[in-house]
Homo-oligomer: A and B are copies of this chain.
Amino acid sequence: MTIVTRSNKPRPVYRPSMDLVPEVLAGNTLSISRMISRAEAGYAEASDALAEIYKHTGKAHIIGITGVPGAGKSTLVSSLIKALTADGHKVGVIAIDPSSPFSGGAILGDRVRMNDAAEATRAFVRSMATRGHLGGLARSTFQAVDVLDAAGYSPIIIETVGVGQDEVEIVTAAHTVVVLSAPGLGDDIQAIKAGILEIADVHAVSKADKPEAAATVSALQGMMALGPVRDNSAWNTPVLSVSSYSGERIQDLKDAIDRHWEHLKESQELAERQHNICRARVLGTAKHLFQQKFDQGIDGFDEQLQAVMHRNADPSVAALALLGWENERQGQ
């Protein structure tokens, strides 16, 4: 009898990211997981692999799910995963977690509820932190979507945090945006306050079993009617009530999402959205790289900072000097 002690086990070998690419494309979930982890960690070694993966993207329907905290986004996503996988879809989910830039922690409690749906089905669910990015969605969120897209997942759901910049930025990442509102959160204009009323392709109202849900549906319909007049060919944003207890209502939501995807493909809008997504990604990546360069230390930063602290230069002059744009003062 051979006793295998822990130290006798073969050590895991770091496999080059490029070697994982064929496995990602073949849909190997372990390799998909690893590739997303490397994108999230920002490994330079993974950049060529991610560039290779990017070539195989552009097939998936990307759905953004947003709404204020407490609206029930995670529950809705769980129900959607069930409904979509039952239809034979291979569903990818990127759930963006709130994280503090100070503690670095992420509140993961919400995610636990998703497990039963994810484990049993053809779904790939991944939580990602939003930490360290520069307003808007993190570069690694887009890269994780790429990995799932290249691996054949569609639709891919991005579930946002529910506060701040991400909510409106989701429109530059997704083909179809679902805005979830909850009835009776004490404020009928949650979606307006959050600035997310206008970005909805589909409005969903959670907790349909609550009596207040109907009032919230009416309020949203009323607000939609106040919006800009659309021509006949344009998409008419539906307002649906959903409930995690009713499979039928989830089916209605799924149908609305499907109809929107068909509408995009039949009209010019898909090309427009693809264009906007690419534009936002290039701009976002450039900002990310720029921030990185600053974080690593730009030559002359300390001198400029001292000048600003001693009121010998104002921040605009210092910033232009650091960028090498001194001559652009007038255009500031």
Contact = CB atoms under 8 A, between A and B. Distances in A.
Interface residues of A, number: 73
Contacts of A325: 289
Contacts of A285: 315-316, 318-319
B319 A107 contact: no
B278 A315 contact: yes
A22 interface: no
A189 to B, nearest CB: 8
A214 interface: no
B54 A311 contact: yes
A311 B58 contact: yes
Nearest to A187: B70
Given A102-B198, A281-B315, A304-B282, A287 B289 contact: no
A219 interface: no
B134 A287 contact: yes
Interface string A197-219: 01100000000000000000000
A9 interface: no
A98 to B, nearest CB: 6
Contacts of A274: 309
**Max chain B Cβ within 10 angstroms of own Cβ: one of A69, A193, A282, A290:** A282
Contacts of A304: 282
Contact of A198 (B103, B278, B288, B315): B103
Shortest 4 CB-CB contacts between residues of A and residues of B: A135-B135, A164-B164, A100-B195, A54-B314
Interface of A: 42, 44, 47, 50-51, 54-58, 69-70, 98-103, 107, 133-136, 142, 163-165, 168, 186, 192-195, 198-199, 274-275, 278-279, 281-292, 294, 301, 304-305, 308-309, 311, 313-320, 322-323, 325, 329-332
25 contacts: A44-B330, A44-B331, A44-B332, A51-B317, A55-B311, A56-B311, A69-B193, A100-B195, A102-B168, A102-B199, A133-B135, A134-B135, A142-B315, A164-B164, A278-B315, A282-B301, A282-B322, A283-B294, A283-B319, A284-B315, A286-B294, A287-B287, A288-B319, A289-B319, A290-B290
